[in-house]
């Protein structure tokens, strides 16, 4: 069925923030004289910040994670976010979907403040009817499936006419948990394409626009 709304993951789906995030993580570690226990590479991108910091340090010490998180934010929110890169074809896809009258929403593990800064920096804010992050809820959403469920409730989006696009297994699980049709962005960081149906595995952003145009529109039986 033709979508009336599409929920997008952010990192690895619309933007590539690997270079900017890794640079700010490196800054935070060096500022606090912490040596990472795993390699600082793209495999770290995607999970919430504190989970990433815990992986990097091999520690769940709340005080240490607080210090590192603040150091990361100080760097990322002032200069790091401006290094964000855009996947080829994404702006054209978003513009085309909006022109079709489809409501676009972001559902992300990235902090809301950083997400909004990046959208403003790229000039994309006006394309989105809703921008949601785990920390946009009070209390914060425990995971992305919960966040997606809350977005559907708040925005009054029927599952039958709402699609979701993401690059990770968590994104796929978030869609399936909420009965949404899921499309895997294979250019991203994660493994969302694993076990995905062929017609739902995207090799380029504009394929989503084509899928939305091809999807049949819901029909209603005439009333008596």
Closest by alpha carbon to 34, among 12, 80, 65?
A: 65
Q: Give the C-alpha separation, 91 to 205, whole Å.
A: 9
User: Each residue of 3-18: b (16+ CB within 10 Å) or e?
Assistant: bebbbbbbbbbbbbbb
Q: Give the C-alpha separation, 68 to 216, whole Å.
A: 49
List 9, 11, 16, 75, catalytic entry: 9
9 is catalytic: yes
- Retrieve residue 9's tokens: 């993951």
Strands of 201-202's sheet in order across: 130-133, 103-108, 5-8, 162-166, 181-185, 201-202
Q: DSSP code of 159?
A: G
Q: Any idea which residues carry the catalytic annotation?
A: 9
């Amino acid at each position: 069925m033709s979508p009336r709304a599409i929920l997008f993951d952010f990192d690895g789906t619309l933007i590539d923030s690997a270079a900017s995030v890794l640079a700010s993580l490196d800054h935070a570690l060096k500022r606090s004289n912490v040596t990472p226990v795993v390699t600082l590479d793209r495999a770290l991108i995607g999970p919430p910040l504190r989970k990433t910091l815990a992986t990097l340090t091999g520690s769940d010490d709340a005080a240490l994670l607080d210090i590192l998180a603040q150091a990361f934010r100080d760097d990322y929110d002032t200069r790091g976010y401006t290094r964000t890169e855009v996947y080829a074809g994404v702006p054209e896809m978003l513009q085309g979907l909006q022109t079709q009258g489809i409501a676009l929403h972001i559902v992300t593990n990235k902090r809301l403040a950083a997400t909004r800064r990046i959208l403003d920096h790229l000039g994309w804010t006006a394309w989105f009817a809703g921008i949601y992050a785990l920390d946009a809820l009070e209390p914060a959403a425990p995971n992305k499936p919960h966040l997606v469920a809350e977005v559907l409730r708040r925005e009054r989006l029927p599952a039958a006419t709402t699609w979701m696009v993401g690059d990770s297994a968590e994104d796929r699980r978030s869609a399936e948990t909420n009965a949404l049709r899921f499309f895997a962005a294979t250019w991203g960081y994660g493994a969302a394409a694993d076990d995905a149906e062929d017609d739902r595995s995207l090799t380029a952003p504009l394929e989503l626009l084509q899928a939305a145009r091809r999807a049949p529109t819901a029909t209603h039986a005439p009333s008596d």
